[in-house]
């Protein structure tokens, strides 16, 4: 077992935001968290990453209750990429990525060849090697996102938590980043809005609604038209991609789904 939650609860503002979540991220695999806005994906990721203290329940890392682990030990294992990262400092892309090495270095330790190698590799994996000297403040939203992912990769974690890693990325980089993460030899938990990306790259998905787990399992077993309609309030159908034959989710407003195709054609004629 890698990282797991056990009946995890978190209250804020007098409301139960995470409501009894039990999940188990299988070592070496990618677990997707999907759910509507406000369903608790970011809150859950923060609890798992130890950035928030649960009101009740447990997060375990291997066999250990995470509360018993020293902060540096957690930082050496778990990397977290938030939705947005900001800094006032005038730093370069490489400076940001170098931060990923902090948990591995003692207070007086110098910068080693191994540290540099991890940074170089992370910059290359995220397509940012040519921008390493560029100021963080001049990067586009997608480049900032990739720099944060590079920082997390330089950390060489065994568990990687990503909160909507594709939200600023163009389609090519969305596919590239998820392709990369899904092939890394680590356990990842990734909050995603795009159900097709979740179906394509995640080994397992957990569907959240109002802080509760509605379903969990292999993406195509879980993301059924009926569940999608219940949780997201949209109509869904599963077809095959004409490009590679893989299953593809087609989504539409519920109102569109009750109109027969012939009616759509008549109206658009």
Ligand X SMILES: Nc1ncnc2c1ncn2[C@@H]1O[C@H](COP(=O)(O)OP(=O)(O)OP(=O)(O)O)[C@@H](O)[C@H]1O
Which residues of this protein are in contact with ligand X, per CB under 6 A? Answer: 12-13, 17, 35, 37-43
Taking the least distance from each CB to ligand X, the nearer of 15 and 266 is: 15
Q: How far is the CB of 14 from ligand X (least distance, A)?
A: 8
Nearest to ligand X of 119, 228 (CB atom): 228
Q: Based on CB atoms, which residue is closest to ligand X, 18 or 61?
A: 18
Those residues whose C-beta lies under 8 Å from the C-beta of residue 43, and which sit 6 or more positions away, are 10, 12, 17, 18, 52, 211
Nearest-approach distance from CB 216 to ligand X, in angstroms: 16
Q: How many CA atoms lie within 13 A of 197 on its CB side?
A: 24
Q: Which residue number, 122 or 189, has a Cβ lying nearer to ligand X?
A: 189
- Residue 48's closest CA among 27, 28, 73, 18? 18
User: What is the C-alpha to C-alpha distance for residues 162 and 30, in angstroms, rounded to an integer?
Assistant: 11
Nearer Cβ to ligand X (176/194): 194
Residue whose C-alpha is closest to residue 162's, from 30, 11, 66? 30
Q: 10 Å Cβ neighbour count for 148?
A: 24
Closest alpha carbon to 169 in 159, 158, 157, 177: 177
Nearest distance, CB of residue 164 and ligand X, angstroms = 7
Nearest approach, Cβ of residue 19 and ligand X (Å): 11
Beta carbon of residue 13, minimum distance to ligand X (angstroms, whole number) = 3
Q: Toward ligand X, which CB reaches closer, 54 or 156?
A: 54
Of 160 and 192, which CB lies nearer to ligand X in the complex structure?
192
Question: In angstroms, what is the minimal distance from the CB of 66 to ligand X?
Answer: 19
CA 168 to chain centre: 13
Q: How far is the CB of 36 from ligand X (least distance, A)?
A: 7
The residue written with tokens 């795009």 in the block is: 194
């Amino acid at each position: 077992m890698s990282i797991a939650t056990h009946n995890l609860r978190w209250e804020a503002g007098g409301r139960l935001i995470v409501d009894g979540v039990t999940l188990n991220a299988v070592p070496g695999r990618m677990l997707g968290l999907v759910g509507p806005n406000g369903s608790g994906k970011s809150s859950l990721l923060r609890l798992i990453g130890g950035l928030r203290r649960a009101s009740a329940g447990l997060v375990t890392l291997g066999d250990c209750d995470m509360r018993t682990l020293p902060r540096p030990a957690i930082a050496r294992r778990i990397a977290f990429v938030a939705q947005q990262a900001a800094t006032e400092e005038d730093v370069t892309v490489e400076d940001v990525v170098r931060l990923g090495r902090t948990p591995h270095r003692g207070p007086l330790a110098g910068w080693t060849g191994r540290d540099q190698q991890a940074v170089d590799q992370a910059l290359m994996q995220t397509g940012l090697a040519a921008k390493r000297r560029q100021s963080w403040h001049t990067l586009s939203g997608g480049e900032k996102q990739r720099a944060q992912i590079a920082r997390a990769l330089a950390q060489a974690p065994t568990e990687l938590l990503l909160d909507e890693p594709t939200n600023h990325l163009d389609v090519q980089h969305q596919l590239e980043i998820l392709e990369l993460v899904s092939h890394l030899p680590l356990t990842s938990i990734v909050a995603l809005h795009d159900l097709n990306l979740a179906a394509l790259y995640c080994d397992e998905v957990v569907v959240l609604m109002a802080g509760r787990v509605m379903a969990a399992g292999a993406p195509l077993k879980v993301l059924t038209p009926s569940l999608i309609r219940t949780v997201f309030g949209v109509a869904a159908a599963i077809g095959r991609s004409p490009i590679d034959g893989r299953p593809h989710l087609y989504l539409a407003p519920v109102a569109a789904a009750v109109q027969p195709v012939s009616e759509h054609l008549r109206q658009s004629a």
